[in-house]
Amino acid sequence: MIANYPIPSKTFFEIASLGYLLVLYLISFNDKNRGTFRSYKLFRHLEINMMLALIVSILTYTFAYPELGTPLPVCTLLRTMDSIMCVMASRVFAVYLMEYVDSEGRLKTVSVIGNIIFFTYLILMILNLHFKFILWYTPEGTYMHGSLFVPIVFSAPVYYLTTGIMMLIFKLKTLGPREKVALSIASFVTLFGTIIQAATNGVILLSLPFGSIGIFVLYFSIETSDYHQLLKNNEILRLAEQDAIKANRAKSDFLASMSHEIRTPLNAVLGMDELILLETGKRTDVDPTFTGHIKEYAENIRDAGQVLLSVINDILDLTKIESGKMEIKPAPYRLHDLINDVGTMVRVRAEQKGLAYVQKLDPSIPDHLLGDELRIRQIMINLLNNAVKYTDSGSVELDVSMSDKTENSLSLCIKVADTGIGIKEEDMSLIFGDFQRIDEEHNHKVEGTGLGLSIVKRMIGLMNGHIEVSSKYGEGSVFTAYIPQDICSEAFEKSSDGEKRGKLADVITYHTPDCRYLVVDDNRLNLLVAKRFLDGLCGQIDTARSGEEALQKMKQTKYDLIFMDHMMPDLDGIQTYEMSLEDPDNINIKTPVIMMTANALCGVREEYLSKGFADYISKPVEIKELLRVVERHLPGDKVSYLNPL
């Protein structure tokens, strides 16, 4: 009986695609890790619908011919079913597409219209069985299309396919790259198949076979279980990343506000403490032991307060850098001033630890530069403070030179070398991390947060520079920062604070890089002032807070000049000088000693000179006077003039 029904050649493609869809269905059905994505369930519907549509189509084009003996009602039913199955398949395909382009279900109207069209279509097809306005068979067995065939049978699939493709085009940007490609190929391949089928007036049945190729593309690109797993994992990672970013932002906000909250009262504490220090210095009507205690306590408060302040400033800087709020503000500045200022601060710390501080500045570097002076100062101070912190004996050296000089720019090379504990090879990569402190067993007594180098590196990065480090564990470290700077074409005058420094640098006409000075004074501020002035000469400066300390240093180090205060507790300046002359271990017997005192009474100069002092300077010290005296007592080969006459 089957022999009556030869397989028509136009269904060959449909038979082939039914075969491979079946294989695909079995493979995907056997996939143990089948996805739980809604798109996957819709994909299964699509597969089943496509197979049913293919089966019905093959049956229709094989059996729906009365001349082959098939009863007319069966032929009509097959034709009707064939049309309905095609519409169903296109509808499921559209719903599947919508799942991707409108996963939140916002385009409700599109799917409501889709449903209305589908049910209207079903009703019309059922009515057609009686009224015959779409398709029917004549009593003689001829298959006929009614006047409403084209608008009714084609309008539904065309609506589904076009709305699906339109949505896809509009929402293409919201899709991932794989989805874009897979959905586009599947949609257009199905569309082309339908167009070819329509163009050949149904001679070749290609819409369902091309649709099946689309299903293959969809399966192997976006519907396999491992791809779904990948998507799930990506989503988990994305959420975790969002949480981490949020937590990091909350941490930064918290740190920034806490730092600010702590800084405000801390400034007051430090300010009041400074007043206590000033008051205790002035009061002569109170028991000196009492004021001495108060002074000591106040000094401790100041030291601890300053450490706290620097920690808070570091945290603030870090949060600023992290949130991208740290701006580099280039402005004209003078390199000499900057280095002298930095040197003055660091020298005090170095000497408090008994370290030598050496400062070198390449004289060929143009003095007027354009850059963020504040940040460069911060970088230098950070590196130098670390060098002092992590060095117990020996020296700390700041060497500023330049490279890559052009007419308008240069690269500042700031080299900070120490003879300290050094860094282990394996720790080198860690030291620039946030809150990273290394070698804690040796460093636990050294104060620090592990933020300094991280900030330094980031600030240098913001200025388009870089930093290098080389170190030998147990022998010392060298940090070299390279920071591009513009050269300021015109000389300039600075305002306010800068003005004072400008004047200091203006009057310095020579450097004495190979000289070593000793300044003896019991008053810390006086020492600071003298050091600041002498720093301009780029030599090495040692200090002593008492006569005894001075005598010790005079035994250990050969100085080129010694500045001695007169009024000091215990040994005064004159006694110290006289004892030094009698000390056989003193290696500075021939070194000129200059009296630097607030005693400015008439005739004191002669008195000091008669005692053997080489010269006399009165306090408050005038820089020009100091320079004249230094120049007068140094051998000519130790003085290098900045603008040789």
441 vs 490, which CB is nearer to ligand ADP? 441
**Part in contact with ligand ADP (CB under 6 A); list of ranges 193-201, 382-390, 572-580, 596-604:** 382-390
Scanning 31-142, the segments in alpha helix (DSSP H) are 38-63, 72-101, 108-131
Tell how strand 476-487 and strand 466-472 pair up. Answer: antiparallel
The 581-620 contact track toward ligand ADP, x by CB under 6 A, reads ----------------------------------------
Task: Return d(Cα 554, Cα 556) in angstroms, integer.
Answer: 6
The 142-181 contact track toward ligand ADP, x by CB under 6 A, reads ----------------------------------------
Looking at residue 133, its amino acid is F
Q: Is 146 exposed, middle or buried (0-12, 13-18, 19+ CB in 10 A)?
A: middle
Tell me what percent of the chain is helix, strand and coil, each rounded to the nearest 5.
60, 15, 25
Verify binding: residue 386, ligand ADP, rule CB under 6 A. yes
Verify binding: residue 225, ligand ADP, rule CB under 6 A. no
**Part in contact with ligand ADP (CB under 6 A); list of ranges 330-338, 400-408, 448-456, 569-577:** 448-456
| 45: its two tokens | 């519907």
Q: Provide the β-strand partners of residue 593.
A: 562
Minimum CB separation from ligand ADP for residue 433, in Å? 8
**Part in contact with ligand ADP (CB under 6 A); list of ranges 38-46, 124-132, 417-425, 626-634:** 417-425
Minimum CB separation from ligand ADP for residue 403, in Å? 22
CB neighbours (10 Å) of residue 230? Answer: 12
Q: Given candidates 437, 555, 605, 633, which one binds ligand ADP under the rule CB under 6 A?
A: 437
DSSP run (H or E) holding 256 = helix 225-282
DSSP 622: P
Q: Provide the β-strand partners of residue 486.
A: 370, 409
- Does residue 447 contact residue 311 with C-beta atoms inside 8 Å? no
Minimum CB separation from ligand ADP for residue 392, in Å? 11
Q: Is 320 exposed, middle or buried (0-12, 13-18, 19+ CB in 10 A)?
A: middle
420 vs 547, which CB is nearer to ligand ADP? 420
The 526-545 contact track toward ligand ADP, x by CB under 6 A, reads --------------------
The 485-514 contact track toward ligand ADP, x by CB under 6 A, reads ------------------------------
Minimum CB separation from ligand ADP for residue 387, in Å? 5
**Part in contact with ligand ADP (CB under 6 A); list of ranges 55-63, 181-189, 432-440, 502-510:** 432-440
DSSP assignments along 513-552, one per residue: TT-EEEEE-S-HHHHHHHHHHHHTTT-EEEEESSHHHHHH
Q: Which of 420, 427, 401, 413 is nearest to 477 (CA)?
A: 420
Q: Given candidates 374, 438, 579, 614, which one binds ligand ADP under the rule CB under 6 A?
A: 438
Verify binding: residue 420, ligand ADP, rule CB under 6 A. yes
The pair phi, psi for residue 413, each rounded to 5°, is -105, 110
Task: Quote the Cα angle for 206-210-212, to 5°.
Answer: 125
Verify binding: residue 312, ligand ADP, rule CB under 6 A. no
Verify binding: residue 313, ligand ADP, rule CB under 6 A. no
Q: Given candidates 448, 539, 573, 592, which one binds ligand ADP under the rule CB under 6 A?
A: 448
Verify binding: residue 211, ligand ADP, rule CB under 6 A. no
Task: Return d(Cα 342, Cα 379) in angstroms, integer.
Answer: 10
296 vs 475, which CB is nearer to ligand ADP? 475
CB neighbours (10 Å) of residue 11? Answer: 21
Minimum CB separation from ligand ADP for residue 305, in Å? 17
DSSP 175: S
Q: For 432-439, which contacts have Cβ atoms below 8 Å and span 24 or more sequence positions? A: 432/456, 432/457, 432/467, 434/318
Task: Return d(Cα 368, Cα 489) in angstroms, integer.
Answer: 8
Minimum CB separation from ligand ADP for residue 477, in Å? 4
**Part in contact with ligand ADP (CB under 6 A); list of ranges 302-310, 358-366, 416-424, 564-572:** 416-424
Q: Which of 435, 472, 439, 473 is nearest to 455 (CA)?
A: 435
Verify binding: residue 387, ligand ADP, rule CB under 6 A. yes
Considering only the C-alpha atoms of the chain, give the largest distance between any 2 of them, rounded to a whole number of Å.
Answer: 149
125 vs 467, which CB is nearer to ligand ADP? 467
**Residue closest to ligand ADP, measured at CB:** 448
Q: Is 447 exposed, middle or buried (0-12, 13-18, 19+ CB in 10 A)?
A: exposed
Number of residues forming the site for ligand ADP (CB under 6 A): 22
Minimum CB separation from ligand ADP for residue 465, in Å? 17
**Part in contact with ligand ADP (CB under 6 A); list of ranges 114-122, 443-451, 607-615, 624-632:** 443-451
87 vs 383, which CB is nearer to ligand ADP? 383
376 vs 554, which CB is nearer to ligand ADP? 376
Residues at the site binding ligand ADP, with contacts judged by CB under 6 A: 386-387, 390, 418, 420-423, 431, 436-439, 443, 448-454, 477
